[in-house]
Amino acid sequence: MPPSGTLQSIGRLPVEDLAVANLSQAADAVSTPDLLQTSSGRAVRLVGAYADTAGIVLILRSLPAGHPMVQISDDSGPINSGYGEANGVIGDLVVSYMQPPRAGADGVAHLGVTVSNFVQGPPGPPAVGSANSGVWSFSVSLKIQPATPLTLSPTLTSVGSWKVTVEKFELTPSVVHLRAVVDGPSSIDVNQTAFALLDDAGNPINVAGASLVPKGGQKSTEVDMSWGRVFRATTYRLQVKGGCATYTSGPASFAAPPTPASSPSAKGGKGQALTPLDFPAAVESLNFGDAMSGHISTGRPQSCGAGSGSSGQLFS
């Protein structure tokens, strides 16, 4: 299925977008179709997309910044998963789904993305006049990035009075992913603080996503959690606290993720064109208002120039 929308060229994505999407270490696996659709006077671009066995990430770009409704489907039908939002650079919105796509007959995920009703300001019920009605539709094909299964030792089958069935514990290019079912306690007693991934120093790694929902009754909970991968070689330990007990797995050692060819540290490599993100950042203080609102705190000068005004000449 060819991409749907007006195809643009953007080069690499902003490092800020990749960071909030937990994709800095998987930058080479992120698709950059940059599809453009216009509706109700607003232009929306799908500038980035990524999928693995833990979920889906979309990066949308539109100004003025806002919070839209996003619906997604694949060849098998709608993907009925909640999603989270995070802001990247000004105008960029990272949308993350905890459910992975289903591959088509060709082994590739064919996604349909429908964006609607941008609301300016913080997420929540829109104030009068703050909603931008419209529909922006995209279609894009993605390779589902594979995962490496991880072994829990000792085997995790129970924690105190909790019965635990591990369905997946794996390492994707972007996250460490756990999917399990907890039986025994009420679903309201099972929360994400019960599950932690520890690094080699015993410190908890930041949670990238979490979904805990009742499964078939109030005494069964489906747990789906992801933690961002760290950039250096480390060991991981899974820790679960519940049922008046604590389970801690033995250490699993991993080398540092490979440096993406599209990362800032790989700038100027053979066959790679320089982009504005390859130039050193400089402190700025620019405020925009009216039709486009936002604050710019850094810039990346990439050329020299001169000008003059009431204060004299300026060289930059």
Q: What would the pLDDT profile of 173-183 be if each residue is shown by its tens digit?
A: 999 999 999 99
Query: In the chain, what percentage of residues exceed pLDDT 70?
Result: 75
Q: What is the pLDDT of residues 125-156, one digit of tens each?
A: 544 446 778 999 999 999 999 999 999 999 99
For tokens 């009703």, the residue is 117
- What's residue 232's pLDDT? 79
279 pLDDT above the threshold of 80: no
Residue 262: pLDDT over 60? no
50 or 217, which is more confident: 50
Whether 30 maps to a domain, the answer reads: yes
Both 10 and 47 in one domain: the answer is yes
Q: How many domains does the chain have?
A: 3
Which amino acid appears at position 230 of this protein? V
- What CATH code is carried by the domain that includes residue 200? 2.60.40.10
Q: Which of 184, 196, 187 is nearest to 160 (CA)?
A: 184
Q: Which of 232, 254, 276 is the last residue of a domain?
A: 254
Distance from chain centroid for Cα 233: 22
Determine, yes or no, domain membership for 154.
yes
Of the three residues 142, 176, 195, the one that is the final residue of a domain is 142
Of the given ranges (10-14, 42-46, 53-57, 305-309), which has the lowest mean pLDDT? Answer: 305-309
Averaged pLDDT, 245-249: 97
Q: Are residues 79 and 108 in the same domain?
A: yes
pLDDT for the residue 92: 94
**167: exposed, middle or buried (C-beta count within 10 Å: 0-12, 13-18, 19+)?**
exposed
Q: Which of 58, 190, 81 is nearest to 136 (CA)?
A: 58
- pLDDT category at 161 given cuts 50, 70, 90 is very high
Q: Which two tokens stand for residue 248?
A: 């801690």
Domain enclosing residue 24, as ranges: 6-142
C-beta neighbour count of 220 within 10 angstroms: 19
Distances (CA, A) of 219 to 160, 185, 193, 222: 15, 5, 18, 10
Report the pLDDT value the prediction gives residue 17, as an integer from 0 to 100.
Answer: 94
Cα–Cα distance measured from residue 110 to residue 94, given in angstroms and rounded to the nearest whole number: 19
Q: Is the pLDDT of residue 249 over 90?
A: yes
| Same domain flag for 137 and 153 | no
pLDDT at 254: 76
Mean pLDDT confidence for 42-62: 96
Structural domain includes residue 219: yes
Mean pLDDT throughout 79-100? 92
pLDDT for 66 beyond 50: yes
Q: Confidence class of residue 315 from pLDDT cuts 50, 70 and 90?
A: low
**294 pLDDT above the threshold of 90:** no
Q: Are residues 60 and 138 in the same domain?
A: yes
- Statement: residue 229 has pLDDT above 80: yes
Instruction: Judge whether 217 lies within some domain.
Output: yes
Mean pLDDT of 45-66: 94
Distance between CA atoms of residues 26 and 173, nearest Å: 5
Closest CA to 252 of 231, 233, 227: 233
- What's the confidence (pLDDT) of residue 252? 84
- pLDDT, residue 216, reads 81
Does some domain include residue 279? yes
β-sheet bridge partners, residue 29: none
CA atoms within 13 A on the CB side of 163: 4
**Same-domain status, 226 and 245:** yes
